[in-house]
Amino acid sequence: MSVFDLSSRTVLVTGATSGIGFETARQLAERGATVLLHGRTLDDAQAAADRLAATDGVDVDQLRLFGADFARLEEVEDLARRVVAEHPRLDVLVNNAATAAPERHTLTGDGNEITFQVNFLAHYLLTCLLEPALTTDPGGRVVNVSSSLHRTASIQWSDPHRARRYSRLAAYAQSQLALTVFAADPRVTAVSVHPGVCATGLLPLYALDGSPAADGAAHVVRLCDPAVEIVNGAYYDRDRRVDPAPAATEDRTVRRLSKLAGQLVGHGG
């Protein structure tokens, strides 16, 4: 994959402390971007920055550190406020942070099923709150790191928290379908990408082995390049644009999901 210059770009990567998020941050920084490095805590973000500087020769001056636990929507709001204050012009938001669904049904303090909140609702809220920064200049975009498992999912509209019937795989797949549908929201230009099955903490959901996280990250980073033209709502399987699940292209589903998410996070859709 060709190397391109991103020295004029400012990119926020959620979940940048391990796996594909860490490798995405590394590759962006290597290409000159200013990378806003998000971790669940500020200490986690600092540890990731130290690793980048020590092992990969990344200039620490390119890194900005942010902490927010996506299982707490109040922390997501604080994160957004700080980003907008410090970076009123944001070129790219990479919605990457994700958790494998727990074995048992688990609710956050906000009352949402934890997988749905961490993998989707937190990103929905963050994207909405960062909209002013992302639309300051033409070319601002959102890259949602999704999954091919979204094709196996359905959104349980009457029970999105799956209180009545919980399965960790179904909960995870639902969160990925929601993230993929959200890419078609008209408020910001966004795409979603399945980076391939990679050797990360989510691997047990997919297979026994996977590609290096750096390979998956390369597909994410490519979509951060302004030279790569994107269409709102497009879905990529690694570097190929393909059709997502039918629900992801339905205007009614996009509107319905936005309304549901807005209600659950307390921010109008």
Q: Which residues are catalytic?
A: 172
Cβ-proximal residues to 158 (8 Å cutoff; 6+ apart), any chain: none
> What does the angle CA 215 – CA 219 – CA 221 come to, to the nearest 5 degrees?
105
Closest CA to 96 of 265, 224, 253: 224
Compute the distance between CA of residue 227 and CA of residue 46 in angstroms, rounded to an integer.
Answer: 31
CA distances to 92, 171, 179 from 9, rounded to whole Å, are 8, 34, 24
d(CA 125, CA 209): 33
